[in-house]
Amino acid sequence: MKIKRQGALISLMAAGALALTACGSDVNTPQGGATNGAAAPTGTSQVDCGGKKNLVAEGSSAQKGAMDVFSQEYQAACAGQQLAYTPSGSGAGVKQFTAKVSDIGGSDSPLKEGKETDDAATRCGGNPAWNLPLVFGPVAVAYKLDGADSVTLTPDAIAGIFSGQIKTWDDAKITAANGGKALSAKPITVIVRADESGTTDNFQQYLAAAAPSVWTKGAGKKFNGGVGQGAQGSSGVADTLSAADGTIGYVEWSFAQDKKLSMAKIDSGAGAVELTAESAGAAIKSAKTKGSGNDLVLDLKALYASKAAGSYPLMLATYEIVCSKGYDADTAKAVKAFLSVAATNAQSKLGDAGYVPLPQEFQDKLLTAIKAIA
């Protein structure tokens, strides 16, 4: 699948470059590079190929399309070497990494302090694991509602829907968000991830930051809202949403586009904001890193709580979880080669798949961490 971004991608990448300089899809098969022939602000890297021939990675389904690109570019740069990626969800990705089943874990949220970081350190021979954000993309609040060409929701309304407080599409809070225009009286059918998912964790973190008085369910990879019909993986959510009228759910932008789902505008207090390349790029300006050293954990709370005009606040960053030390020599060499390709050469190919290519400044931070893996 090739998702067209047209000229808007240029604005997104420029905004992303400013943001990250300041801060210091199971079926996606991307083709080509930046849209309209525009060169993405990404660099290239000299790759030291070799080591383990067949790397194994597992985790986030949100980054499946990006991992397909990374794998293709890795094989092109390092003949005879490859990486196999299983999009089993972020929860499984962390578990398989800590169990030494995979060489790299993929997760839509960083390792949590406590058991996850402890288990990862044990897996890495007593050394800390690092969270390296390689993929950025927006999360859509997608819906299917006959007769509704456009729906605007406030953070409070979204939190009310996903906690079961708002049950019908003509609820007064939804009507108010849409300028007094009442939508259908049809019941709302909430669709959520059934599996543990970093997308769920990010979505619930967003609700806690943007609608703290309404969302009191906390965060985490398991959906805590107490309502809804569960679906497996991002593709399962998108398929379920497209199958029945009156549904609403959260899913990565590329999956929503693939299924041609309608996506709600979000009004955080400065007017309704449609999910576009420009509005997603504007939101990235709020992203900051809070990890220490080469553990590049992002602090997304300010982004989620942002009320800035023209900014779409519901963004997701996908991490590759790796050992800082503790791999055998062959695995370390191959992991470093793959990540070097993914962080540089392959980034210019991500735009057509619904992701945000990394600017040069952030690539440099990633390369510093990748080179330090031992």
pLDDT at 287: 66
Please, which contacts does 219-222 make with residues 24 or more away whose CB atoms are closer than 8 Å? 221/90, 221/91, 221/109, 221/196, 221/197, 222/91, 222/196
pLDDT of residue 285: 64
Q: Could you tell me if 199 and 90 are in contact, meaning their C-beta atoms sit under 8 angstroms apart?
A: yes
3-class SS of residue 140: strand
Measured in whole angstroms, the distance separating CA 128 from the mean position of its chain's CA atoms is: 23
Cα angle 256, 16, 130; round to 5: 85
Residue 214 to residues 139, 160, 210, 244, 303, Cα–Cα distance (Å)? 20, 6, 9, 27, 18
Element (DSSP H or E) covering residue 278:
helix 277-284
In this structure, which topology does domain 139-281 adopt according to CATH?
D-Maltodextrin-Binding Protein; domain 2 (3.40.190)
pLDDT of residue 137: 84
**Would 8-137+287-301+314-372 and 139-281 be classified into the same CATH topology?**
yes
Residues 6+ apart with CB under 8 A from 266: 141, 152, 153, 154, 155, 158, 272, 273, 275, 312, 313, 314
- What CA–CA distance (Å, rounded) separates 196 from 198? 7
User: What is the CATH code for 8-137+287-301+314-372?
Assistant: 3.40.190.10
Domain locations in the chain as residue ranges:
8-137+287-301+314-372, 139-281
The per-residue DSSP string of 78-92 comes to STT-EEEEE---HHH
With both helix axes pointing from N to C terminus, report the angle between 329-343 and 360-372 in degrees, rounded to the nearest 10: 180
Q: Which residues of the chain have pLDDT under 70?
A: 1-45, 284-287, 291, 359
- What is the pLDDT at residue 54? 98
Q: What per-residue confidence (pLDDT) applies to 302?
A: 82
**In degrees rounded to 5, what are phi and psi of residue 63?**
-100, 10
Q: Which residues pair with 352 in a beta bridge?
A: none
Q: What is the pLDDT of residue 7?
A: 36
Q: Which of 107, 105, 134, 139 is nearest to 346 (CA)?
A: 134
CA 192/CA 238 separation, integer angstroms: 10
Say what the pLDDT of residue 360 is.
Answer: 76
Residue 19: what pLDDT? 37
Give the per-residue pLDDT at 298.
Answer: 85
What pLDDT does residue 357 have? 78
